């Protein structure tokens, strides 16, 4: 019996020893690999050039960047484009060209690299600069606010300033941001609703009252230029090519003020509120509200300097996301292509209206706080458009500089051709 037991133990030891050998043998075998050395790696992508769709520099979060090269693919799911470590959104691709959206980053000498799935290597690095499309300007303190703004022909910006809710006069900013006091407060006026550069470097100012003022030189206080009828309201103004001033407000009438200070009224619309005035291509454009409709209306200026009948040019209230008695028009201006910029307090911030109001699109979508008032526009040089803006839920106004990569339509008051 004992012999049978010893033999049984011997069998168990042998079985365990054999299993250990088999296990070790399996452990030493290489794992199956997903790499097949018989499949050749794809050719590495190359970048031959980088450009911007539509021309100009690359604007952060705005521009469509065009990458030309070789060994790309039409399958956008197999493409990765890096701006430094930021992965760009692919718009379209062919074997020799990739289009991507510029990421939201402002930096010089970003490294662009392209990776194609199946290729062993990235492309060689190319360097690009990304500029800000929209940026804060002026270095305001937390208790300062900007209202009326205007620019001269060299790009200097003049800003009607408030501090802790009280007017402190005009401040001058050079294009590089250097600042100085231009005009003291004078008078008992806290807020200039609009400023415009006029002939001879004189700044014209209004404040939704019946009076128009001038600031004649640096260091000079504002002085009364002209006063209208007791029912008149001058909220915004602009000059035509004959240096006549066109102005209006919340009184259903638009006014022409000649250089000799004579005032002529022209009927606009009953129940109208005018917030912005612009002269372009021999038309007077008025932005604001008529009855319950927010929009822009225009009337032609004839050879005698009189106005024809106003017609609606753009209906903001008819746009998706807007409605009657809803978001308003606060500022309008034009570029040399005839496109109209519309500042609103709606969900899109700024809108761009095509020539003859043939179409409308969101302007720089995603770069503006929604439902914030775009109060006033002023064109500087180099395609810069300045905007005073009251952000949603914030009482302090911001001053923004927008790189439009366009040029201003003429401001006749400051002598633009």
Largest CA distance in the chain: 136
Structure tokens at 178: 């250097």
Asked whether 235 and 272 are in contact (CB, 8 A), the reply is no
Both 352 and 214 in one domain: the answer is yes
Of residues 16 and 51, more confidently modeled: 51
Per residue in 150-173, pLDDT (tens digit) is 999 999 999 999 888 888 999 999
Per residue in 300-338, pLDDT (tens digit) is 999 999 999 999 999 999 999 999 988 999 999 999 999
- What is the residue whose two structure tokens read 């980088």? 50
State what percent of residues in the chain have pLDDT above 90: 74
Both 195 and 328 in one domain: the answer is yes
Both 373 and 228 in one domain: the answer is yes
The Cα–Cα gap between 178 and 170 comes to 14
Rounded mean pLDDT, 41-58:
92
Q: Is the pLDDT of residue 33 over 80?
A: no
Which residue in 350, 374, 389, 381 sits closest to 173, CA to CA? 381
In a domain, 29, yes or no: no
Q: Give the domain CATH number at 122.
A: 2.60.40.10
β-strand pairing of 126-131 with 58-59: parallel
pLDDT band at 75 (very low <50, low <70, confident <90, very high): very high
Q: In what order do the strands lie in the sheet with 283-290?
A: 272-280, 283-290, 293-300, 311-315
Asked whether 27 and 332 are in contact (CB, 8 A), the reply is no
Of residues 182 and 375, more confidently modeled: 182
pLDDT computed for residue 5 by the predictor:
39
Q: In what order do the strands lie in the sheet with 64-70?
A: 46-52, 64-70, 97-101, 89-93
Rounded mean pLDDT, 181-190:
83
Structure tokens at 140: 């305001």
In a domain, 236, yes or no: yes
Q: Give the domain CATH number at 296.
A: 2.120.10.30
In a domain, 401, yes or no: yes
Both 250 and 142 in one domain: the answer is yes
Rounded mean pLDDT, 198-202:
96
Q: Is the pLDDT of residue 9 over 50?
A: no
In a domain, 361, yes or no: yes
Domain finish residue from 84, 106, 131: 131
pLDDT computed for residue 309 by the predictor:
96
Q: In what order do the strands lie in the sheet with 223-227?
A: 194-197, 203-206, 211-215, 223-227
Q: Is the pLDDT of residue 10 over 90?
A: no
pLDDT computed for residue 24 by the predictor:
45
Domain that holds residue 55: 46-131
Domain finish residue from 69, 102, 131: 131
pLDDT computed for residue 22 by the predictor:
41
Per residue in 269-294, pLDDT (tens digit) is 999 999 999 999 999 999 999 999 99
Both 268 and 193 in one domain: the answer is yes
The Cα–Cα gap between 380 and 44 comes to 45
- C-alpha R_g of the chain: 33
Average pLDDT, the chain: 89
Both 202 and 335 in one domain: the answer is yes
Both 110 and 211 in one domain: the answer is no
Both 195 and 125 in one domain: the answer is no
Number of domains into which the chain is organized:
2
Per residue in 91-120, pLDDT (tens digit) is 999 999 999 999 999 999 999 999 999 999
Domain finish residue from 110, 131, 152: 131
Which residue in 107, 114, 1 sits closest to 49, CA to CA? 114
Report the C-alpha dihedral over residues 413, 415, 416, 417, rounded to 10 degrees: 120
Per residue in 337-383, pLDDT (tens digit) is 999 999 999 998 899 999 999 999 999 998 988 888 888 999 999 89
Both 210 and 247 in one domain: the answer is yes
Both 138 and 120 in one domain: the answer is no
216-to-156, 195, 208, 224 alpha-carbon distances in Å: 16, 13, 20, 11
Both 195 and 225 in one domain: the answer is yes
Q: How many other CB atoms sit within 10 Å of the CB of residue 176?
A: 6
Rounded mean pLDDT, 61-81:
97
In a domain, 17, yes or no: no
DSSP letter for 62, please.
Answer: T
pLDDT computed for residue 264 by the predictor:
97
Both 280 and 291 in one domain: the answer is yes
């Amino acid at each position: 019996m004992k012999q049978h037991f010893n033999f049984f133990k011997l069998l168990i030891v042998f079985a365990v020893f054999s299993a250990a050998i088999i296990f070790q043998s399996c452990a030493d075998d290489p794992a199956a690999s997903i790499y097949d050395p018989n499949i050749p790696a794809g050719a590495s992508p190359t970048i031959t050039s980088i450009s911007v769709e539509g021309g100009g520099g690359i604007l952060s979060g705005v521009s469509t960047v065009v990458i030309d090269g070789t060994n790309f693919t039409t399958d956008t799911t197999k493409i990765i484009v890096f701006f430094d470590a930021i992965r760009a959104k692919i718009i379209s691709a062919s074997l020799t060209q990739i289009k991507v959206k510029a990421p939201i980053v402002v930096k010089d000498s970003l490294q662009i690299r392209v990776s194609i799935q199946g290729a062993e290597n990235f492309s060689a690095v190319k360097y690009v600069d990304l500029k800000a499309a929209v940026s804060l300007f002026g270095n305001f303190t937390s208790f300062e606010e900007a209202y009326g703004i205007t620019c001269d022909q060299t790009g200097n910006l003049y800003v009607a300033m408030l501090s802790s809710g009280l007017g402190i006069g005009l401040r001058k900013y050079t294009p590089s941001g250097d600042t100085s006091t231009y005009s003291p407060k004078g008078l008992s006026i806290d807020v200039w609703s609009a400023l415009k550069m006029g002939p001879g470097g004189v700044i014209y100012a209004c404040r939704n009252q019946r009076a128009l003022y001038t600031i004649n030189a640096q260091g000079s206080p504002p002085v009364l230029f002209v006063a209208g009828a007791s029912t008149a309201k001058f909220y915004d103004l602009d000059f035509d090519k004959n240096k006549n001033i066109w102005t209006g407000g919340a009184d259903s009438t638009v006014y022409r003020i000649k250089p000799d200070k004579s005032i002529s009224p022209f009927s606009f619309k009953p129940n109208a509120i005018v917030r912005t005035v612009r002269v372009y291509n021999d038309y007077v454009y008025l932005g604001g509200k008529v009855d319950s409709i927010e929009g822009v209306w225009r009337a032609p200026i004839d050879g005698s300097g009189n106005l024809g009948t106003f017609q609606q040019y753009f209906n903001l209230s008819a746009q998706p996301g807007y409605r009657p008695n809803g978001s308003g028009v606060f500022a309008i201006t034009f570029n040399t292509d005839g496109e109209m910029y519309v500042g609103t307090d709606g969900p899109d911030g700024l809108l761009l209206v095509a020539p003859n109001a043939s179409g409308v699109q969101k302007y720089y979508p995603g770069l503006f706080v929604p439902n914030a008032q775009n109060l006033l526009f002023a064109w500087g040089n180099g395609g810069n458009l300045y905007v005073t803006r009251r952000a949603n839920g914030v009482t302090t106004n911001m001053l923004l500089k927008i790189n439009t990569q366009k040029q201003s339509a003429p401001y006749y008051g400051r002598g633009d051709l």
